[in-house]
Amino acid sequence: MKKIALLSVIACIAFASCKRTMTNVSEVHPSSVPYVIITGPIYYSIGVGDPLPSIVATAYDTFYDHSMSNPLPVIIDNSTLDNTTPGLYAVTISAKNQYGMVGTASVYIGVTSASPLLDLSGWYIRNGVPERSSYVAKLGNGLFMTSNAGGADTTNATTGPAISAVFVVTSDTTIDFGSQLTAYGQLGAHDQVLSLAVGDTVISYLLDNGNFSPTVPRIFHKI
């Protein structure tokens, strides 16, 4: 009987040692996001009530598709755009690769009722200091880009970076920076005022950007 019991124990141990063990194995993929390429302008100007512009974009993940022969589907989200209300709006274009990683790009659309004759382009100075100058360029009807939105002293880096940003004229007395991504982070503004007095064009606002105080007015006089 002892011999039979011993053989039974050995058989049980052998059976247990031969049981299959199921192990979950995760597959690791390098982190890579698609690159979204916008075909055409990044900035548009349309009149109030005008149809939305046709935005064309393609996307590739060059890490997994070196030859860029397999474009990824793109999604153009214009849900935040209101063509009945003047303002600067961001339209996000996104694409997802086979591992769920998402890449994005943005197009900015200025909705305006400004006259085509309005031209704010030229040099502006903040607080009468030549080093705190900014050049405003016209991009389209009522749509402009400033080369130094914060009015930083270009000879003194401690006053902040010179940030290029776009704004749209929303009325005879107001402008709008919307919410836009710049080389120095997200940027917006409030208390955005335009004064078109004869011989003295003034643009003023308070910036919403981590590089500048949101309580210090940015007042620019055209020269």
pLDDT tens sequence across 16-28 = 444 555 555 455 5
pLDDT in tens, 36-76: 999 999 999 999 999 989 999 999 887 777 667 788 999 99
Are residues 95 and 143 located together in one domain of the fold?
no
Of residues 5 and 98, more confidently modeled: 98
pLDDT class of 5 with cuts at 50, 70, 90: very low
- Final residue before a domain boundary, out of 91, 112, 133: 112
pLDDT of residue 28: 59
What string of H, E and C letters represents the secondary structure of the chain? CHHHHHHHHHHHHHHHHCCCCCCCCCCCCCCCCCEEEEECCCEEEEECCCCCCCCEEEEECCCCCCCCCCCCCEEEECCCCCCCCCEEEEEEEEEECCCCCEEEEEEEEEEECCCCCCCCCEEEEECCEEEEEEEEEEEECCEEEECCCCCCCCCCHHHCCCCCEEEEECCCCEEECCCEEECCEEEEEEEEEEEEECCEEEEEEEEECCCCCCCCCEEEEEC
Q: Residue 92: pLDDT above 90?
A: yes
Instruction: Please report, for the domain that includes residue 39, its CATH number.
Output: 2.60.40.10
Of residues 8 and 149, more confidently modeled: 149
- Domain extent at residue 139: 122-222
What is this structure's pTM? 0.82
Residue 197 lies in a domain: yes
Six-digit token string for 197: 């007095």
Domains of the chain: total: 2
**How far is 67 from 21, CA to CA, in rounded Å?**
42
